[in-house]
Each structure stands twice: as structure tokens, then as C-alpha cells.
Structure 1
Amino acid sequence: MSEPLYLRLRKRLSVKPGAVISLGDICQLYWDGEKEKGIAKLHVYQVKPEDGDLIIIDIMQVIGKLRQMLPEVPLEVQGAPQIIVEVARPHRNPNLLLVGFVWVVLFIGSGLAIMNFHTDVSMLQVHQRLYYLITGEHNQQPLLLQIPYSLGIGLGMVLFFNHLFRKRINEEPSPLEVELFLYQQNVDQYYLQYENKENEKTKP
């Protein structure tokens, strides 16, 4: 009996419009350590203009292609049954005016949110009370507490999001990156469930 061909679909792939997707692009292959190199270039799918931005390739399509080429070889399939192929469109330069407008809106909105929160919890009165407890003096504007506190908010946000501009502080993902990862997983699951044409078939 011949050595089985082991294959595992990758979860996601990004290609250019009109690209030819090969077996090695969408699958991890193992077949006796050497023979998989010969079938890695097997064409599985040709990206067409009507495909849109996302394509779903099912493992059954891959098996069909392999059976045409290797009808007698046993197959061992591992992992997910589908892969999402994203068609990457040409990158467009951002509109600096729009980016600036969004930045200003977000800056003002976040500033108002922080100020409203501090008003709700009476932060000024808390600082005044702390200043009195530490120094024994009443001060309507305890800047010795307010300035370090304000700087601490900025430093805390940098540590929380684990980024200083484009530089990552450590290898641990930030909460925002985790949320984006979970969101992407949910979007991928939606496409796999509702965009797969095989799932849309019903019995007559």
C-alpha cells in the first residue's frame, strides 16, 4: 500500500486579483518527505473578477483535484474543511484630510469621555481632599496631584494598548488586538457559514 498523503488546509490566504491558487498555497502537505514538492504546484483555483473580495475553497474541491491526479493514493485530511481566500485589491493612498478629520473627532470624543467620567466621580473634590490629607492645606487647584495624574493616564493608555506609535512594547497582544482577532474570527465564521455555496444547497 502506498504512503498516504497528509494535507491540512490553512485558515486564510491573501492573493492578488487574477492569481492562480496552487495546492501548496492553501495546504500544508506531507508525503514521504519529498514527493509533496511535486504536487504543491497543482492548480486548484483561478481567481476571477466576479469572485469579489472573498473566496471559499472547500476541502472537497481539493480532494477532487487530487483524485484526478492521484486516483490510487490514500488521503489523510486534517484541520478545517474550508479556507478563506482574500483577494487583495491595490492599495490606495489615504486621504490626509479625512484622516485628520477622523483624528480630531476621536481626540475630542475621547477627551470629553474622560472629562465626563471625572465629573461623574467628582475627581476634583477627590484631589482636593487628598491634597488636604497630605499637606494639611486647602487648595482649589491641587496641581501637584492633577499633573502627575494626567500624565499617568497617558502612560497607562500606552501600557494598556502595548504600543508607542508603531513600536510594540512587548510581545504580549494588547486588548485591542485580541478584540480585533476575535472580531475577525467571527467574520470568517460568518462567511464560512453563509457564503459557502455548498452549504446553500438543499435537497429537492
Structure 2
Amino acid sequence: MEHTVYIRLRHRLQVRPNTVIHLEDIAQIIADEELFSVLRRLKMHQVIKEDNNIIIIDIMKVIKLIKKQFQMLEIQTIGPSQVIVEVARKKRKTSMSLFVLVWLLLFFGAALTIMNFHEDVSMREVHLKIFTIITGIEDEKPLVFQVPYSIGLGAGMIIFFNHLFKKRLNEEPSPLEVEMFNYQLDLDNYVAMNENKESMKNIDDD
């Protein structure tokens, strides 16, 4: 009797070195209960030392391995045609001195950027004119206007990036998170195209 199994590959998977990757690790499976218990433990890949940090498992390889054990099985695939497996090597502990150095560079770099922007658009002169128009008083240091503006500038950046330290203000992603997401998608597409040997064929391969 012919059975049908539905497979949807995951987009990305992170594993440790020397891990045995099973079908359930890289895909969602819908099948009969008895068949599912066998398919989920089907070996897809063994991570070895020679593997790079990125491994691409193509859907054709998955089908080939399943068909090798279940020849009469009908396989229906849904979604991505390959899964990106990232081998998580041991990470070096972050140096506190390096962290402080990077933090200082970012802090003063951002501060200088804001100061230079304000200088380019003559923000000080604008504040003086607005203060004079509102109060009728000429003051070289209208702190009653400049201090709330500075506080509002910081509050606006917190709202824009939707984060206060590690706390998220709401569930909406920030523009930075969206850009990082798009960058990761482009990176994954590039890796999938260039690391997947089955997706490319050169004239010398014949």
C-alpha cells in the first residue's frame, strides 16, 4: 500500500560539531504515526571536522535518502528547497576591555555625528530665533528650550529603535531589526546558491 508523507524543510538550523542530523531536525513531517516514528530518526548528515561552518542540505538529497529506505513512499515537499545548517563552534569570551573600547567609539561617534549635523543645519541659530519669537527675549543660552529638546532627541531615538536597553517597548520590529532581517535573508540566499553544489554545474563537471 502506498503512503504519502509531507515534508517542509526548515529555513535554518544550528548544531554543534560532530552532531548527527536527523530528518526531524531539518524538517517538519506529516505522516502516519508508525511511518513518522521511523522517518523522524532517519539520518541526513553527520557533521565532521572537515565540514565548514555552513552546510547546505538540499531537498533532493532528503528525498534520495528517504526513497533509499522507502521505495514505494510518495513524498510531497512544501516550502524551501534547502536548509542552511550552521555549525556553532566554540565562541571566544568577549573581552571586557574590547567591549568598553567599542562602546566608547560608538558613543562618541554618535555624539559627534549629532553635533556635526546640528552644526551643518545651524540648529543653534534656529533655537535662538524660535526662543526670541516665542518669548520676545534675546538669550545666547536658551536652556529652557535646549534642555527639553535634548531630552526629546534621546526619547525619540528610543522610540524609533523600539528598545530601552534590552526591553522592547512593543512588538513592532524596529527599523534596525528589519534591516538586519533583510540582510540575513540576502546572506542566506547567497550562501544557499554558492554552497549548494547541486544548484550549480560547471562545464568542466562533465
TM-score by length of 1: 0.96
CA distance in 2, matches of 1:44, 1:65: 7
Q: Between the two proteins, what is the percent identity of the paired residues?
A: 48
Greater CA drift, 35-44 or 19-28 = 35-44
CA distance in 1, matches of 2:202, 2:109: 49
Q: Output one character per residue of 1:80-126: Cα deviation in whole Å (capped at 9) or x when no partner.
A: 11110000112322011111111111111111110011011111111
Any unmatched runs of 5+ in structure 2?
none
Q: Which residue number corresponds to residue 58 of structure 2?
A: 58
**Partner of 1:117: helix, strand, or coil?**
helix
Q: Which residue number corresponds to residue 170 of structure 2?
A: 170
**Shift of the alpha carbon at 1:49?**
1.0
Q: Which residue number corresponds to residue 158 of structure 1?
A: 158
Q: Which residue number corresponds to residue 114 of structure 2?
A: 114
Q: Output one character per residue of 1:114-163: Cα deviation in whole Å (capped at 9) or x when no partner.
A: 00110111111111111111111001111011101101111111111111
CA distance in 2, matches of 1:43, 1:137: 80
* 2:17–2:48 CA contact under 8 A, matched in 1: yes
**Partner of 2:50: helix, strand, or coil?**
helix
Any unmatched runs of 5+ in structure 1?
none
**Partner of 1:48: helix, strand, or coil?**
coil
Q: Which residue number corresponds to residue 85 of structure 1?
A: 85
CA distance in 1, matches of 2:35, 2:65: 17
Q: Which amino acid aligns with 1:179?
A: E
Q: Which residue number corresponds to residue 25 of structure 1?
A: 25
Q: Which residue number corresponds to residue 105 of structure 2?
A: 105
**Partner of 2:21: helix, strand, or coil?**
strand
**Partner of 2:125: helix, strand, or coil?**
helix
What is the total number of aligned residue pairs between the two structures? Answer: 204
TM-score by length of 2: 0.95
* 2:3–2:72 CA contact under 8 A, matched in 1: no
